[in-house]
Amino acid sequence: MAAMPSISIAIVGSGGTGALTTGNFLFEAASAVGLQGVFTRTMGPQIRGGEAAALLRFAAEPVESLPDHFDLLIGIDWLNAHRFGAEIKVSPNSLVIGDPRGGDVPPVIAAGGARMIEIPMKELAKGVPEGRPNMVALGIAARLLGFSVEQMFAPVEKRLADKGPAAIESSRAAIKIGYEAAAGLKFEAKLPAPKVSKAKRWLLSGNEASALGAIRGGIRFAAAYPITPATEVLEWLAPALTKVGGTLLQAEDELAAINMIIGASYGGTPSLTATSGPGLSLMIEALGLATAAEVPLVVIDVMRGGPSTGIPTKSEQGDLNIAVYGFHGDAPHLVLAPQSVGDCLFTTQWATYLTEALQAPAIVLSDQYMGQARVAIERPADVAFIGARSVATEIDGAYKRYALAANGVSPMAIPGTRGGQYTADGLTHAENANPTSGAVDHLKQLDKRRDKLDTFNYGDHWATVEGDGELAVVTWGSLTGTAREAIARAADDGIKARLISPRLLSPVQPEKLAAALKGAKRVLVVEQTHGAQFHRYLRAHYDLPAPVKVFSRPGPLPITAGEIYSAIADWRVS
């Protein structure tokens, strides 16, 4: 697998300049010609109108991670752009375009050694009635990337349709002016040629993909307490659930949200909530209740920087510990992690299926990066996972809610079913659900809840396993694609590495990982935490062949393929 040709563009501007709008139009235009790509937005702390940056990357192949260096950076102005300096790296091969009246290029960007060009975007925009510099910037970007002006018009017209022909005309004129202004500019990077494909193509974020996966899996109730960066899951679900015969209830806090979905699920409705680290912390007690009372439910945790309030708008994988180990007592449950925006759909749908099949709560560990990134991808394949709970319908004689079934999953009586009355309980209970503090019942029910998860066949979906190199790169979550790209680059250097990324984090799958590691002579663990949580988790549950190295660093900056590649290449040298 050869390294993937791609092109990366960043557009920055202070509040009101419309840098994100420019990025969005460019993203839609590139998507329309069949490229795959990713569009992330990064903003200052202001609620509205602060400085913003649009970060885009396109390739012929699926691409979701940001580049080591941006090929093109356009500063509509540079006010507060230094805040993005660490995120938007440029190299001597990059081109940086600024406005002579837009302030000085921040030193952190200038230090990259990129070629700098000035184009008076503000001044040029004045040549058009109501002309805006961000549309001039769009014209410049279009020219440099090899688009025609017309290719920029389609998304602009779609977006501005309700603003009338004058607004559209002024944008078109400004784009043309930018396009002309970039004539003759030297720019080496080339837009990759899109692959010809008949597949339907989608433009969506991971949060939207998770929400769709939830509904496809059968979720018909959600309880919602807003939190960055998970809110879009809930906002997408609100109207969608209503359409499909379900509903969403806004909760007064996360404690209420998790308990609402326990109640709804107890009543027979597959249920979900979405949150982030602080909310998950509040939900943990009730997740233990769902485990003990064997109530299916899905909690999507879109991870952000932690601990505490941390960095709400930036990604980190630091909720692994609380998701796997946070419950008090011995409380086996499901923890799954999507591996890309498209996989947010699959994994959430699968989680819904698993929680219903196993009557154990499922936590889906997404993260801010893939949750909020928008990607252009081929439509993910349909999968057959639809939640189907074992339900007690014909009840003769004494019903035992927690009967010791062979597979550990006992049929659940749904309220309204005559003869099935029982009280679900967080207290240790006997098979008939009555509270007990006896040692025998305690052990039996602990065994039951453990065994039903451990004996289930999770198939091949438990992990992504690719390649057979002696070096195994073991990672998880949104770093999967980044690691894949790094491995491809290393392959160009003749280094063979395999990729192992578990999608199912709990229950652990020691035999399957051992098979995936067969023949591996060393392991590189890659994760985005400060305390190497994933490495410790692997050490606790799996045998890893020595030697093991760990590349682990916290957010807020995304880990790039270049960094992982270096970790692979440097190890060979030593």
Measured CA to CA in angstroms, residue 33 lies from 108, 152, 560 at distances of: 34, 11, 26
Sorted by sequence, the CB contacts under 8 Å of residue 445 that are 6+ apart come out as 402, 428, 429, 430
Closest CB to another protein among residues 136, 227: 227
Closest CB to another protein among residues 271, 560: 271
Q: How far is the CB of 407 from another protein (least distance, A)?
A: 25
- Taking the C-alpha atoms of residue 124 and residue 22, their distance in angstroms, rounded to an integer, is 16
- Taking the C-alpha atoms of residue 1 and residue 487, their distance in angstroms, rounded to an integer, is 9
Beta bridge partners of 488: none
Q: How far is the CB of 421 from another protein (least distance, A)?
A: 5
Residue 16 binds another protein, judged by CB under 8 A = no
Stretch that binds another protein, among 238-246, 355-363, 466-474, 566-574 (CB under 8 A): 238-246
End-to-end CA distance of the chain: 24
Measured CA to CA in angstroms, residue 76 lies from 15, 34, 63, 137, 270 at distances of: 11, 27, 26, 7, 48
Closest CB to another protein among residues 251, 505: 251
**Cβ distance 232 to 372 under 8 Å?**
yes
Measured CA to CA in angstroms, residue 231 lies from 203, 274, 399 at distances of: 19, 7, 41
The correct pick among 40, 231, 259, 315 for binding another protein (CB under 8 A) is 259
Closest CB to another protein among residues 228, 247: 247
Q: How far is the CB of 401 from another protein (least distance, A)?
A: 10
Closest CB to another protein among residues 341, 473: 341
The correct pick among 41, 417, 557, 569 for binding another protein (CB under 8 A) is 417
Tokens standing for 534?
A: 């994933």
Residue 282 binds another protein, judged by CB under 8 A = no
- Taking the C-alpha atoms of residue 121 and residue 124, their distance in angstroms, rounded to an integer, is 5
Alpha helices in 54-127 (DSSP H): 107-110, 121-125
Site for another protein in 129-148 (CB under 8 A): none
Residue 418 binds another protein, judged by CB under 8 A = yes
Residue 348 binds another protein, judged by CB under 8 A = no
Size of the site for another protein (CB under 8 A): 63
Let me know the angle formed at the C-alpha of 457 by 452 and 460, rounded to the nearest 5 degrees: 145
Q: How far is the CB of 225 from another protein (least distance, A)?
A: 11
The correct pick among 4, 118, 194, 269 for binding another protein (CB under 8 A) is 269
Q: At what angle do helices 19-32 and 133-145 cross, to 10 degrees?
A: 30
Stretch that binds another protein, among 59-67, 248-256, 313-321, 359-367 (CB under 8 A): 248-256
Residue 299 binds another protein, judged by CB under 8 A = no
Closest CB to another protein among residues 33, 166: 33
Q: How far is the CB of 18 from another protein (least distance, A)?
A: 23
Tokens standing for 327?
A: 């419950």
Phi, then psi, of 433 in degrees rounded to 5:
80, -5
Closest CB to another protein among residues 25, 78: 25
Let me know the angle formed at the C-alpha of 23 by 139 and 479, rounded to the nearest 5 degrees: 140
Residue 220 binds another protein, judged by CB under 8 A = yes
Site for another protein in 352-391 (CB under 8 A): 376, 379
Stretch that binds another protein, among 91-99, 180-188, 414-422, 502-510 (CB under 8 A): 414-422
Q: How far is the CB of 471 from another protein (least distance, A)?
A: 37
Rg (CA), the chain: 26
Residue 421 binds another protein, judged by CB under 8 A = yes
Q: How far is the CB of 473 from another protein (least distance, A)?
A: 31
Site for another protein in 24-53 (CB under 8 A): 31-32
- Taking the C-alpha atoms of residue 482 and residue 469, their distance in angstroms, rounded to an integer, is 17
Residue 243 binds another protein, judged by CB under 8 A = yes
Measured CA to CA in angstroms, residue 302 lies from 233, 277, 526 at distances of: 9, 8, 19
**Cβ distance 475 to 524 under 8 Å?**
no
The correct pick among 261, 334, 365, 465 for binding another protein (CB under 8 A) is 261
Residue 291 binds another protein, judged by CB under 8 A = no
List, edge to edge, every strand of the sheet that includes 497-502: 463-466, 497-502, 471-474, 522-527, 548-552
Q: What is the DSSP letter of 559?
A: P
Q: How far is the CB of 463 from another protein (least distance, A)?
A: 27
Closest CB to another protein among residues 401, 503: 401
Sorted by sequence, the CB contacts under 8 Å of residue 325 that are 6+ apart come out as none
Closest CB to another protein among residues 164, 245: 245
The correct pick among 119, 424, 513, 525 for binding another protein (CB under 8 A) is 424
Which stretches of the chain bind another protein, using CB under 8 A?
31-32, 200-204, 208, 212, 215-216, 220-221, 223, 240, 242-247, 249, 251-253, 255-257, 259-269, 271, 285-286, 289, 293, 376, 379, 413, 415-427, 433-435
